[in-house]
Amino acid sequence: MIETPGFIWTVIFFLLAIGPLIFLHELGHYLVGRWCGVKADVFSIGFGREITGWTDKRGTRWKVGWLPLGGYVRFAGDANAASQPDGEWMELPDFERSQVFHAKPVWKRAAITAAGPVANFLVGYLLLAGLLAGLGDMRTPSIVGSIKAGSVAEKSGFRQGDRIVSIGDKGVDDFETLYETVYARPRMMLDFAIQRDGRSLHILAAPAYLEARDAFGNVQRRGSMGIGPVAPARVSLDWLEIPGAALDRTVGVIRSTIDGLGQILFGNLSAKEMSGPVKMAKFAGQVATLGWVPFIGFVALVSINLGFINLLPIPMLDGGHLFFYAIEAVIRRPVPPQAQDWAFRTGFAVLMTLMLFVTFNDLASLELWHRLSGLIG
């Protein structure tokens, strides 16, 4: 078992992973806001009481909050960090009103809002492109390299050397796609399309539900066929191939996230698989012990997922604002303030409930509740 870093190093690596991503996300909002002629009153990394900060010549307060689990840019005319409009902005003098976020056309407000998630997607894409340029592409074909005795694969008739070309209507080009598809579908009957000795055939099989510990001792609950891969091959990419390969990886991460969320919503995966900041910090520390290359890959993964999550149409998130702007573009007037206020309150309650739930999951994965019950008992 690989030793997990101590608490201090775990926190340091977590901040190294998440801090720059939060900054670049908010920087996307800030820069596009400036290009659109909007004044930024506050640029904050973290929430809560200010630890340190300064005010630049444009009057923007740059600060760091004590809770580093997010950030925000408060533009002129915003009543709070969630960018709800201040009812008094329309009474400002013409010049000041022209710099207010809510005075801008809906397309400019949408562009400013979307800039944060786009920045995260771009950062993840560039990190993946850098890894591909420096190290090449590790490719493991979707060929059965080994079969575990007594496994679902053995009982279903898989053979060593079989090439799996699709699972249901999902094409399988590499072993990673095979693993991710099976991982998220324990006990679901799947249709495996296989190439064997020049012949095409189909095998119906349901992955077993498996609980196992990884190299760091983390419990994984997943689907398993008992299939092992063949040896991977490192492929050097031409410079013209790198952009497309990095884009494929980025889209693949988004698809895997959507797939995982879908499996949880439909009950095929346990909600216990949802992770929060505590488990993310733990993973950051563990991946960092493997070296800088895996850590950079981890940061790319987090960045892409951060962009995706912020686009979900939940009030308080960027996606919630974009949803309101889409409605405004259709009906040609802003959504009534009362409706927005109700939606933001509901969104805040949903996000806080979700945060409490995933934090409880995280602490359970650390076996905290088991240890506490042992102390009490």
Q: Following DSSP, what letter does each residue of 141-159 receive, concatenated?
A: -SB--EE-TTSHHHHHT--
The terminus-to-terminus CA distance of the chain in angstroms comes to 29
pLDDT digits (tens, 9 = 90+) for 27-38: 999 999 999 999
Mapped onto helix, strand or coil, the DSSP state of residue 261 is helix
150 falls in which pLDDT band (50, 70, 90)? very high
Contact between residue 279 and residue 365 where contact means Cβ atoms under 8 Å apart: yes
The one-character DSSP state at 192 is E
User: 3-state DSSP call for residue 76?
Assistant: coil
Instruction: Give the pLDDT confidence score for residue 214 in this predicted structure.
Output: 67
Longest dimension (CA), the chain: 78
Q: b/e string for 234-259 if b means 16 or more Cβ within 10 A?
A: eeebeeeebeebbeebbebbbebeeb
What is the rounded distance in angstroms from the CA atom of residue 193 to the CA atom of residue 190?
10
Q: What is the dihedral angle through the alpha carbons of 26, 31, 36, 39, rounded to the nearest 10 degrees?
A: 70
User: Quick one: average pLDDT of 343-360?
Assistant: 84
Domains annotated for the chain, with CATH where assigned, are 7-36+104-133+304-376 (no CATH), 137-235 (2.30.42.10)
Average pLDDT in the chain: 87
Q: Which of 36-45, 65-74, 164-173 bottoms out in mean pLDDT, i.e. has the lowest?
A: 65-74
Query: For residues 36 and 61, is the Cβ–Cβ distance under 8 A?
Result: no
Q: Please give the torsion angle defined by the CA atoms of residues 29, 34, 37 and 43, in that order, rounded to the nearest 10 degrees.
A: 60
Report the sign of the C-alpha dihedral through residues 137, 143, 147, 153, in that order: positive
Gyration radius from the chain CA atoms = 24
Calpha distance 298→334 (Å, rounded): 39
Residue 113's nearest CA partner among 306, 316, 322 is: 322
**pLDDT tens digits along 280-307:** 888 898 899 989 999 999 999 999 999 9
Residues marked active site are found at 26
Residue 214, classed as helix, strand or coil, is coil
Mind listing the pLDDT tens digit for each residue in 212-227?
A: 776 666 667 788 999 9
Q: What local confidence, expressed as pLDDT, does residue 366 receive?
A: 64
What pLDDT was estimated at residue 161? Answer: 94
Lowest mean pLDDT among 126-130, 267-271, 309-313: 267-271
Q: Is the pLDDT of residue 377 over 60?
A: no
Residue 210 confidence (pLDDT): 84
Q: What integer pLDDT is reported at residue 280 of this predicted model?
A: 86
Specify the residue for token string 């796609």: 177
